[in-house]
Amino acid sequence: MPVEEKPVIDIDRSIGDFSYDIEYEYDAGYGLTERTIDYICDVKGDPDWIREFRKDALKKFWEKPLPTHWASRDLENIVFEKIRYYLAKDKMPKRSWDEVPKEVKETFERLGIPEQERKFLAGVEAQFDSEAAYSNIKAAIAKQGVIFVGSTEGLHKYPEIFRKWFGKVVPTGDNKFSALNSAVFSGGSFIYVPPGVKVKHPLQAYFRINAESFGQFERTLIIADEGSEVMYMEGCTAPRFETSTLHSAVVELVALPGAKIQYITVQNWSNNVFNLVTKRGLAFEEAEIKWIDCNIGSRLTMKYPGVVMKGRKARGEVISIALANVGQHQDTGAKMIHGADETTSNIVSKSISIGTGRATYRGLVNIPRHLKGCKNNTECDALLINANSRTDTYPAITVRGQGNACQHEASVSQISEEQIFYMQQRGLDEGQAMSLAVNGFVNDLVRQFPIEYSVELKRLIDLEMEGSVG
Amino acid sequence: MEKMNCLKVINLKAKIHNQEILRGVNLEIPRGEVHAIMGKNGSGKSTLAKIMAGHPAYEVTEGQVLLDGQSILEMEPDERSRAGLFLAFQYPVEVPGVTIANFLRAALQARLPEGEEIEATEYYARLYEKMDLLKIPRNFTSRSVNEGFSGGEKKRCEILQMAMLEPKYAILDETDSGLDIDALKIVAEGVNSMRCPERGMLVITHYQRLLEYIVPDRVHVMVNGRIVLSGDKDLALKLENEGYEWVEQLESVSS
């Protein structure tokens, strides 16, 4: 059977790329110097130890080279002098919903984004009225003693607990971008769940959206005390209105003995964005940390959620879906560091490359010699849609000692001409057939997302696959 | 005047990799009739089925295929499907992660005008009714299309899809291959239940066995990319008893 070159998928990513001029009350200006740090600290009223922390981080950021010895050289195209590192308090927007491009409104409509969230996402509202939308849930969790505030409020109001863990899971100097985040962070969440408390509702970043929370340099710290359980969700499937091209977040999770944390991310960046994120969790005895991560869009995403299993029988899991469309590079994966006996970890990663899109999986698994009864399972599957789509897998697995087990499975597949023909014979057009096959490929992972996300994800995949064949 | 209400193949020639596979096929299946095509492996039977359904790998060099008088060779495979042509595959293809229920629902949805939605309760009621007929257990609906199916399950699933899509014309390509006798009976029963004056069927097989259960109105013999002989159901028996050699001689005389 002749393998016909399928035409490159052509997707109109400009949908997410529109922008307005915005005036901010606080603007640190372009470039990054000690003065930028002082400006941020003054505006935010940071305590001295944070000012020190930031300045130390800035030095480390300058010292560290870009990781281009292993990562994409596209990083060299980031012009650090042309970035504004702190913007806050969007003044009253001078635009209205009527000015939002029709296609953007349609996309929100088709993704089923709730009415009240659309205006914020489209950048016509600086504030998302979270009080009205979620006050019941907020009251319910407050009654349980759960702290759920912005990171700035967290460090001001709860310094003892904040300071104990802040920067301990992801050290400032972990990599160049964690150093950058540590220097200029703003926004993000701080959550503390008291011992034994099981938070029924998933906590969403939406609950406390403000001008900062979707910032470029978010910093999130979640601490689940002994035996507690919490689920956190961030992001959404809608294309986001962007003012900046560099996003570099740091997320730290601490699961104390017997605690469970699930952290769910769905992101759909516009394709001018560098999304360089460091996410790591620390799991104590019999604690569980699970990252569920879905990355769509962006120019380059580098993200490898990790779990350090520090206590006996701790468990780490990463479930990830990446979709790389034309001109996009999803460089994602997972890190599992086993630090105690009988710790287990599981990684399931699925990627889809469309057109010139490129998906890279990097996995690091480390089980040292002195441990016993540790297990890791890794599965990574890649789906290539077009002849010029690309996928790479770089697993780095170190398993030493007796009685530790490790299993790694990887597959690369393509949607075959025969599959498409079969589905077309039943009446689905080529695009619908392709969409259905892609949804099928990620179906088992999508099911692990909360229901409202999984529905949105399916619709989003349909949208991304539209016009993918021609 | 072109006859309506039939699936008509006129002097169809086709090739793949520059090799001619169909060398002028003529065939006419009126609605309400069941025709069978028999022939040895490599005679072009399955190719004919795929070309009628619009498989992209083959190049049609000459001829016509008319569905109720309308030429379909320029149509995409999905357009042909929605026009009422169904092909039960010899080797049904796996679609991992897509359940039978979702797949069939998407296929039915594709037949509705924009803005209309399948009604879920009705859909499942119909689906279960057809599954019962084909003795397919209920948990089947949540399995991925053809993934990990036995040969018999695959074939039954093809017939289930045919029953749900209610085509005007159905082509059954080697639907008997890989079936034991019990499964064969169930499949044949499913096919027979769909025989009606509004539907034409073409059964492709190289064994007479299937035709004992699905009794055809006409039998055609294909040799070397052509139909060389047509007759009634007794022709199938004769082929079973005497083999294909005598028909092949007919073919060499005619060409």
Q: Minimal Cα distance from A427: which residue of B?
A: B78
Q: Which residues of B touch A439 (CB under 8 A)?
A: 97-98
Q: What percentage of chain B reaches a pLDDT higher than 90?
A: 76
Return the DSSP state at B100. Answer: H
The token pair at B61 is 């060099």
Q: ipTM, 2 decimals?
A: 0.96
pLDDT of B1: 46
Inform me whether the C-beta atom of residue A132 falls under 8 Å from chain B C-beta atoms.
no
Task: For strands A390-399 and B19-30, give the pairing.
Answer: unpaired
Higher pLDDT, B3 or A451: A451
CA A80/CA A176 separation, integer angstroms: 12
pLDDT of A276: 95
Instruction: Indicate the burial class of B114 (C-beta count within 10 angstroms; 0-12, 13-18, 19 or more).
Output: exposed
Q: Minimal Cα distance from A436: which residue of B?
A: B98
Q: What residue segments make up the domains of chain A, in order of their start?
A: 21-416
Cβ of A440 and B78 within 8 Å? no
pLDDT of A288: 98
pLDDT tens for chain A, residues 1 to 470: 333 333 333 334 344 444 445 566 777 788 899 999 999 999 889 999 999 999 999 999 999 999 999 999 999 999 898 888 887 765 444 557 777 767 667 767 766 666 666 666 665 554 444 444 455 677 788 899 999 888 888 999 999 999 999 999 999 999 999 999 999 998 888 999 999 999 988 887 654 344 443 458 889 999 999 999 999 988 766 655 555 688 899 999 999 999 999 999 988 887 788 999 999 999 999 999 999 999 988 899 999 999 999 999 999 999 999 999 998 999 999 999 999 999 999 999 999 999 899 999 999 999 999 999 999 999 999 999 988 899 999 999 999 988 899 999 999 999 889 999 999 999 999 989 999 999 999 998 988 887 777 877 888 888 788 766 54
pLDDT of B57: 93
Put residue A261 in one of left, alpha, beta given phi > 0 → left and psi -120 to 50 → alpha.
beta
Instruction: Indicate the burial class of B246 (C-beta count within 10 angstroms; 0-12, 13-18, 19 or more).
Output: exposed
Put residue B22 in one of left, alpha, beta given phi > 0 → left and psi -120 to 50 → alpha.
beta
Q: For residue B224, what pLDDT band results from cuts at 50, 70 and 90?
A: very high
Q: Which residues of A touch B94 (CB under 8 A)?
A: 419
CA A38/CA A46 separation, integer angstroms: 9
> How far away is chain A from the Cα of B146, in angstroms, using its nearest Cα?
11
Q: How far is CA A68 from the centre of its chain?
A: 21
Burial A322-335 (b: 16+ CB within 10 A, else e): bbbbbebbbbbbbb
The token pair at A113 is 């984004």
pLDDT of B2: 55
Task: For strands A250-255 and A147-150, give the pairing.
Answer: unpaired
Residue A352's nearest CA partner among A330, A320, A310, A384 is: A384
Q: What is the pLDDT of residues B62-72, one digit of tens each?
A: 999 999 999 99
pLDDT of A456: 77
Inform me whether the C-beta atom of residue A470 falls under 8 Å from chain B C-beta atoms.
no
Question: Best residue in A109, A423, A447 to probe B by mutation, most B CBs within 10 Å?
Answer: A423
Answer for the pair A241, A122: CB distance below 8 angstroms, yes or no: yes
Taking residues B81-88, report their average pLDDT: 98
Q: What is the pLDDT of residues B189-218, one digit of tens each?
A: 999 999 999 999 999 998 888 999 999 999
Inform me whether the C-beta atom of residue A440 falls under 8 Å from chain B C-beta atoms.
yes
The token pair at B24 is 């002028």
Residue A211 has φ and ψ, to the nearest 5°, of -60, -25
Answer for the pair A381, A444: CB distance below 8 angstroms, yes or no: no
Answer for the pair B138, B93: CB distance below 8 angstroms, yes or no: no
Q: For residue B240, what pLDDT band results from cuts at 50, 70 and 90?
A: confident
pLDDT of A238: 60
pLDDT of A461: 83
Give the largest Cα separation in chain B, rounded. 59
In order of start, what are the domains of chain B with their CATH numbers?
6-254 (3.40.50.300)
Inform me whether the C-beta atom of residue A430 falls under 8 Å from chain B C-beta atoms.
yes
Q: For residue B158, what pLDDT band results from cuts at 50, 70 and 90?
A: very high
Question: Best residue in A415, A425, A428 to probe B by mutation, most B CBs within 10 Å?
Answer: A425
Cβ of A422 and B92 within 8 Å? yes
Q: Does B46 have pLDDT greater than 80?
A: yes
